[in-house]
Structure 1
């Protein structure tokens, strides 16, 4: 996870780095695991386009405001450019039209909430933990 920590960390203070507990979503089989795990623990998927400035801005804001631990929920990161097939399967499996950036909350095998673009940072994840 060292690469993810470096790529997706933000600064709270000049010498303090905020690191999120990202789980790389890079295999289709993980979607079944996410569905299964969502029956006992909230699963969150962040779909990010690495070439999009808006996506980068939304992700940076998300990182800065994130206040959960690995005990609260599982946080998945999907690189849309490298894993478009997984993004397409997420749309099909959880019946959520693809957008980028996009955040999905999965509970009991169902997408109970999803937002895209700036609305991601308006979502109250506390409601789902």
Structure 2
């Protein structure tokens, strides 16, 4: 699992990876902390590529993703990108290892 900081890094992911998971999370929210644990467990036990950002550290990137894909920002918020586009996203308590494995 790799932390992404910049719009350029994110755009490189869209170009270079056919399929990957991405998580926006807050460093101060307990709900986000739980979602991060579920996401981490999923990524660490699978062959899927996973990336994330911390909203407090990467507000510009977080806003960019919301605007580029016309998906309202939430935190925590998980995405599955396929062929450079989000094919799934969900937030808060719906981010579970079980839900991610089903994708």
8 Å contact kept, 2:5–2:61: yes
Tell me by how many angstroms 1:82 deviates.
1.1
Q: How does 1:32-111 map to 2 (within 5 A)?
A: 32-38=11-17, 41-66=18-43, 67-69=45-47, 73-111=48-86
User: SS of the counterpart of 2:49?
Assistant: strand
8 Å contact kept, 1:115–1:123: no
User: SS of the counterpart of 2:71?
Assistant: coil
User: SS of the counterpart of 2:95?
Assistant: helix
TM-score (normalised: structure 1): 0.70
Number of aligned residue pairs: give it: 101
Which segments of 5 or more consecutive residues in structure 1 lack a partner in the other structure? 1-21
Is the aligned partner of 1:123 residue 2:89? Answer: no
Q: Residues 66-125 of structure 1: CA distance to partner in whole angstroms, max 9, x if unpaired? A: 4212xxx32111010011110000111222110000101111111100010011115244
Seen in structure 2, the aligned counterparts of structure 1 residues 125 and 42 have a Cα distance that, compared at 3 Å, is farther
Tell me by how many angstroms 1:31 deviates.
2.1
* Distance in 1 of aligned mates of 2:68 and 2:76: 18
TM-score (normalised: structure 2): 0.85
Answer 1 or 2: which has greater helix percent.
Answer: 2
Relative contact order (C-alpha < 8 Å, sep 6+): which is higher?
Answer: 2
Tell me by how many angstroms 1:47 deviates.
0.7
8 Å contact kept, 2:25–2:54: yes
CA RMSD of aligned residues (A): 1.7
Task: Name the larger-Rg structure.
Answer: 1
